[in-house]
Amino acid sequence: MADSHAKNHDYHLVDPSPWPLTGSIGALTMAIGAVHWMHAGKTWAVSWLFLLGTAIVLYTMFMWWRDVVRESHKGDHTPVVQLHLRYGMLMFIASEVMFFVAWFWAFFEASLYADSAIQATRVELTQGMWPPAGIEVFDPWHLPLLNTLILLLSGTTVTWAHHALINNDRNGLKWGLICTIALGALFSCIQAYEYSVAPFAFKMENGGNIYSSTFFMATGFHGFHVLIGTIFLIVCLFRALAGHFTPKQHFGFEAAAWYWHFVDVVWLFLFACIYVWGSYGATIAHH
């Protein structure tokens, strides 16, 4: 008699998992904690709920992805399953694109309708100008250009690592990842320095304005993605050193490479729109 448990399809029927439930609980706890933190005051004493939710979410991410890696090693990631994983990653990147559309929309609306944007912030700025009169902006051909070159180079090194993996060049894979991680860390350090010497404030109460708000939200959100992508690549490096990827099965690395290229492309738009176009006619700050 045929084995009733024999698998006669290419799909993966996952085992019961607690991680969707714990992830939902963590996300809800983090959201409630964030609202409480913002309304009750930005002190560590009232942030415990947010930190607890964050810890639960991070633990869930680690354990869930650990299980996915184990399923891959068991042979559950058939070509059909890998195709669906790619679809899932593409949908995730598409959702991230819409996040950035919101920040670009805010920046362009404030710049193209400067009168209403400046009036809405109730700050003493000359209306009808963008950037508002009295605001010094970054020189786009200094640190922003350097960071652009760094990210473009990192896109080259991650592609080198990808082609090395496809050709079963483990040494090329390792060094391609190391170079990409180093470049990503360098980008983050330069952006942190750029923020530290910014000629405009982050908070409204410290002299911030609509320009600084849209600038920091767009570039800061991207910087957060660079940090996430760097961590993603670090995990891929450790997995590569452990021999996890093969030329025919390496979706984890492929997803990281896609994400990193997405970060590269978004930065090109940020550089062109916010640093170059957004600084046209403005006073350039010199440090």
How much is the pLDDT for 124?
47
Q: What CA–CA distance (Å, rounded) separates 197 from 200?
A: 9
Q: Which domains can be identified in the chain, with CATH numbers?
A: 11-76 (1.10.287.70), 77-284 (1.20.120.80)
How much is the pLDDT for 66?
92
pTM of the model: 0.86
Listing DSSP states for 205-223 in one string gives GGT--HHHHHHHHHHHHHH
Name the token pair of 154.
Answer: 């990192």
**What's the average pLDDT block by block, 10 residues per block, for the chain (287 residues)?**
60 86 96 82 69 94 92 85 92 95 91 65 56 83 96 97 95 97 98 91 65 91 96 96 90 95 96 91 73
How much is the pLDDT for 41?
61
Q: How big is the chain, counted in residues?
A: 287
How much is the pLDDT for 116?
60
